[in-house]
Amino acid sequence: MLVDGKWMENWQPVQAKDKDGRFVRQQSSFRNWITEDGSAGPTGDAGFKAEAGRYHLYVALICPWASRTLMARKLKKLDDVISVDVVEPVLTEQGWKFGDFPGAGRDRLNGVTFMHEIYTHADPHYTGRATVPVLFDKQRNTIVNNESADIVRMLNSSFGAFAGESLDLYPADLASQIDALNEHIYHTLNNGVYKAGFASSQQAYEEACIAVFKTLDELENRLGSDGPFLFGECLTESDIRLFVTLVRFDAAYHGLFKCNLRRIADYPRLSDYMKRILAIDGIAATVNMQHIKAGYYSIKALNPNGIVPLGPA
């Protein structure tokens, strides 16, 4: 990680934990918002007006949080409005790296080698992990926001004039229900699998793993009565958040993160739901199983020899 703008030597991707061995995720620190007129959003400063060609996304295809933003960009048909660069899937001693792994690429915007250089470019004294996604402003030459939940929301609401698709991922009449479901899915599933995988006590692991499957069971039932999506006919940001975890589950979380009471393949409705979303125009392009497997199984703290399993078939 970066400390006062300097990359720490011998960095290992070991995550922070509390006194009982529970995984603790870092809070995102760049929280400005792109808005239609450039006024300030719910957090951060004003000055980031929605414009075609002005903003750039940095993502990793292994990363569920970054993949949320890629999905929102696809669903809103913003491909020609917001450019993207993809890092390699394997975390190096210096964090995310741009390069030639198939499906990844060079940093075409700033020409750096490591993601942490984008952070110090924006803030020479930055302290924290150099995470993806990052939404970068080419005009002001800085990071707008590095929190996927914010980025999904602003791609949905601020690019009305440029979006090729009018689909509303956060309709006003569902907002409070979406917020509540998002919160539940985040704690027990999106971040829940990480809590299980990075737990450093048996109790923390079991607590997280049980919560993961309780939520999967609930959602399997919910889809039976409400489908095709979590809120019926209307696909929302809750579906994006659920999908990115489901699509990684059998390949990474089931084995590496020890979430192995059941697979998604064992849940008929969740499996159909996942395939239904995967079939939406452009979504399959945001999912790269080679990146997902290579990336997760390269986490040395969990898999010291870096062996990547052959399955699932």
Ligand X SMILES: N[C@@H](CCC(=O)N[C@@H](CS)C(=O)NCC(=O)O)C(=O)O
Active site residues: 63, 194
**Residues touching ligand X, count (CB under 6 A):** 12
Q: Which of 22, 28, 97, 288 binds ligand X (CB under 6 A)?
A: 28
Binding piece for ligand X, criterion CB under 6 A, among 57-65, 159-167, 202-210, 242-250: 57-65
Residues from 228 through 247 that contact ligand X (CB under 6 A)? none
Of residues 70 and 132, the one with the C-beta less far from ligand X: 132
**What is the Cα–Cα distance from 178 to 235, expressed in whole angstroms?**
11
The candidate with the shortest Cα–Cα distance to 133, out of 76, 78, 69, is 69
Identify whether the C-beta of residue 206 lies closer than 8 Å to the C-beta of residue 212: no
Q: Which of 33, 58, 65, 243 binds ligand X (CB under 6 A)?
A: 65
CB under 8 Å to 202, separation ≥6 — which residues?
none
97 sits near ligand X (criterion: CB under 6 A): no
The candidate with the shortest Cα–Cα distance to 186, out of 152, 226, 158, 221, is 152
Q: Which of 35, 72, 90, 95 binds ligand X (CB under 6 A)?
A: 95
Binding piece for ligand X, criterion CB under 6 A, among 128-136, 221-229, 237-245, 258-266: 128-136
Query: Roughly what angle, to the nearest 10 degrees, separates helices 289-296 and 237-248?
Result: 70
* Token pair belonging to 88: 């390699």
133 sits near ligand X (criterion: CB under 6 A): yes
Of residues 131 and 286, the one with the C-beta less far from ligand X: 131
Of residues 57 and 270, the one with the C-beta less far from ligand X: 57
85 sits near ligand X (criterion: CB under 6 A): no
Residues from 138 through 157 that contact ligand X (CB under 6 A)? 147-148
* Token pair belonging to 168: 């509303």
CB under 8 Å to 87, separation ≥6 — which residues?
58, 59, 60, 96, 97, 98, 99, 104, 115, 132
129 sits near ligand X (criterion: CB under 6 A): yes
Per the DSSP assignment, residues forming a β-bridge with 211 are none
List the alpha helices (DSSP H) in the chain: 64-75, 115-122, 148-157, 175-185, 192-197, 202-226, 237-248, 268-278, 289-296
114 sits near ligand X (criterion: CB under 6 A): no
Q: Which of 132, 193, 223, 252 binds ligand X (CB under 6 A)?
A: 132
* Contact residues: ligand X, CB under 6 A: 13, 28, 60, 63, 65, 95, 129, 131-133, 147-148
